[in-house]
């Protein structure tokens, strides 16, 4: 009885503490709030009609285009941009490069939120959301299905990311014993997480192996799982540079002097890794292109568009990264990170939407409602990220 009373008292204190933490901090009338709050409200209204009247009421999806903007951007692109979590964990815990240790927690947090929100956005895109359990249990798909593997990779990797970040949550909640226990699980969680992330990054690409007749030959390849995996590496590094540059200014008062001092060194290291990975990725693309003898396709409109992606958003930022690292030009590095991220976004949209069913007369274009809901998902993720960073020990500790 005494134990029950103690537990009830602790729970009451924690609930009071949690409700107090929910109170807003700082000014409300910021440019981001002014833009994001109306977008979130409109997005929620659109979702009401989506769940009451069906997908057709707010989207331009059809039987020919089952993968719309919600999957093409939220899932396919969002998962690739979250690759920084497994890259940094590999560099810190496996390669033992301690200079990147200060960005482990914030990178894992970014990855966790990306998987929760972007994978969770799958519920919005399913005509019957309650059937989302089917690929997880193998119902109607089978245990040999790529979708079955990807579903389990996603589910397990989100769990692993939560375990990796959980010591920070326990510290915030003032649970020292639980924090100590959760820290003991970190190395094992990292090893499992790296393995799962490598598998599902390539697994997402493997789903398109079954769509060979529908994808333009310039974008289809038997090596698309490898291309998706390699591109997720430099996408993750580019996102770290992009987000780190913003965080260092927005949350500058929460970052310690040692972390501030190491920021430029971290950016240079990430840029060097991104340049090398992009060169490898470009080599793979060139090898696949020449092996497939696709020269005659370059002189077509789709061929010109392919060159825009491969040259403009892969080769050019690759050289920009190399130049920026060599000359320690952080402006060029930041510009290269934006171009590299746009290149990954463009690649995923080409495979999922633009070059998908490329020869059908009626093309798919996302509706304005689909775009607003995607912005809503991104804004809500940023709100949650900001709330966690301003309350938990994510950036402040050396």
3-state SS track over 164-225: HHHHHHHHHCCCHHHHHHHHCCHHHHHHHHHHHHHHHHHHHHHHHHHHCCCECCCCCCCCHH
The pLDDT score that the predictor gives to residue 28 is: 80
**Dist. CA 61–CA 66, nearest whole Å:** 6
d(CA 375, CA 240): 20
CB 233 within 8 A of CB 280: no
* Residue 360, helix vs strand vs coil: coil
Token pair belonging to 243: 């987000």
CB-based contact 353:3 (threshold 8 Å): no
Distances (CA, A) of 212 to 165, 235, 275, 290, 363: 39, 25, 30, 18, 18
| In 144-185, alpha helices (H) | 146-172, 176-183
Phi, psi of 396 (to 5 degrees): -75, -25
Residue with tokens 């930041």: 334
Please name which of 391, 385, 397 lies closest in space to residue 113, comparing C-alpha atoms: 385
pLDDT, residue 221, reads 92
For the chain, give every domain's residue range. Answer: 43-389
- The sign of the torsion formed by the CA atoms of 122, 352, 192, 90 equals negative
b/e map of 262-294 (b: 16 or more CB within 10 Å)? bbeebbbbbbbbbbbbbbebbebbeebbeeeee
Identify whether the C-beta of residue 225 lies closer than 8 Å to the C-beta of residue 206: yes
Distances (CA, A) of 134 to 12, 51, 75, 153: 39, 19, 18, 15
Give CA 242 to chain center in angstroms.
Answer: 13
pLDDT at 123 (0 to 100) = 83
Backbone angles phi and psi of 356, in degrees to 5: -90, 130
Structure-block tokens of residue 168: 């920070």
- The H helix count followed by the E strand count for the chain is 18, 0
Phi-psi map region of 24: left, alpha, beta (phi>0 left; psi -120 to 50 alpha): beta
∠ CA 176-256-382, rounded to 5° = 75
Tokens read off for 398 = 């050396």
Position 398 scores a pLDDT of: 47
- Whether 109 and 388 have beta carbons less than 8 Å apart is answered as yes
Q: CATH homologous superfamily of domain 43-389?
A: Formate dehydrogenase/DMSO reductase domain (1.20.1630.10)
- Which pLDDT score is estimated for 363? 86
DSSP label at residue 295: G
What is the pLDDT at residue 378? 92
**Quick check: 228 and 204 in contact, CB under 8 A?**
yes
Which two tokens mark 79? Answer: 């998962």
267: closest CA among 322, 314, 334? Answer: 334
How far apart CA 274 and CA 308 sit, in angstroms, is 20
Per-residue pLDDT, 23: 81
- pLDDT given at position 377: 92
pLDDT at position 120, please?
A: 77
Per-residue pLDDT of the chain (398 residues; tens, 9 = 90+): 566 666 676 777 778 877 888 787 777 888 899 999 999 999 999 999 999 998 889 999 888 887 888 888 888 888 899 898 999 999 998 888 988 988 899 999 999 999 888 777 788 887 777 777 887 777 766 677 788 888 888 888 999 999 999 999 999 988 899 999 999 998 888 889 888 888 888 988 898 998 899 999 999 999 999 999 999 999 999 999 999 888 888 887 777 666 667 888 999 999 999 999 999 999 999 999 999 888 999 999 999 999 999 999 999 999 999 999 999 999 999 999 999 999 999 999 999 899 998 888 888 899 999 999 999 999 999 999 999 998 898 886 54
∠ CA 341-125-135 to the nearest 5 degrees? 100
């Amino acid at each position: 009885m005494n134990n029950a009373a103690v537990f009830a008292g602790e729970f009451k204190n924690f609930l009071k503490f949690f409700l107090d933490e929910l109170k807003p901090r700082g000014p409300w009338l910021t440019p981001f709030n002014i833009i994001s709050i109306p977008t979130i409200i409109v997005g929620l209204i659109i979702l009401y009609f989506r769940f009451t009247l069906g997908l057709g009421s707010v989207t331009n999806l059809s039987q020919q285009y089952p993968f719309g903007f919600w999957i093409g951007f939220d899932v396919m692109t969002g998962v690739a941009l979250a690759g920084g979590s497994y890259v940094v964990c590999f560099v810190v815990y496996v390669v033992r490069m301690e200079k990147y240790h200060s960005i482990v927690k914030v990178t894992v947090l970014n990855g966790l939120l990306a998987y929760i929100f972007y994978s969770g956005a799958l519920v919005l895109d399913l005509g019957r959301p309650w059937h989302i359990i089917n690929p997880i249990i193998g119902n109607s798909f089978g245990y040999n299905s790529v979708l079955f593997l990807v579903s389990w990779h996603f589910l397990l990797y989100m769990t692993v990311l939560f375990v990796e970040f959980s010591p920070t949550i326990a510290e915030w909640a003032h649970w020292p014993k639980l924090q100590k226990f959760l820290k003991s699980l970190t190395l094992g969680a990292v090893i499992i997480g790296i393995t799962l992330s490598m598998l599902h990054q390539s697994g997402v690409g493997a789903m398109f192996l079954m769509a060979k007749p529908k994808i333009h030959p310039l974008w289809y390849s038997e090596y698309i799982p490898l291309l998706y995996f390699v591109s997720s590496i430099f996408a993750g590094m580019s996102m770290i540079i992009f987000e780190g540059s913003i965080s260092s200014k927005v949350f500058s008062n929460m970052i310690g002097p040692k972390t501030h001092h190491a920021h430029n060194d971290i950016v240079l290291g990430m840029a060097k890794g991104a340049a090398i990975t992009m060169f490898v990725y470009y080599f793979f693309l060139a090898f696949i292109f020449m092996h497939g003898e696709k020269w005659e396709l370059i002189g077509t409109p789709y061929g010109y568009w392919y060159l825009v992606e491969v040259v403009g958003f892969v080769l050019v930022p690759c050289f920009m990264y190399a130049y920026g690292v060599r000359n320690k030009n952080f402006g060029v590095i930041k510009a290269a990170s934006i171009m590299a991220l746009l290149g990954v976004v463009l690649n995923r949209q080409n495979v999922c939407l633009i070059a998908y069913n490329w020869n059908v007369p009626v093309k798919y274009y996302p509706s304005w409602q689909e775009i607003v809901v995607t912005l809503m998902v991104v804004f809500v993720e940023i709100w949650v990220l900001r709330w966690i960073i301003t309350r938990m020990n994510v950036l402040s500790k050396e």
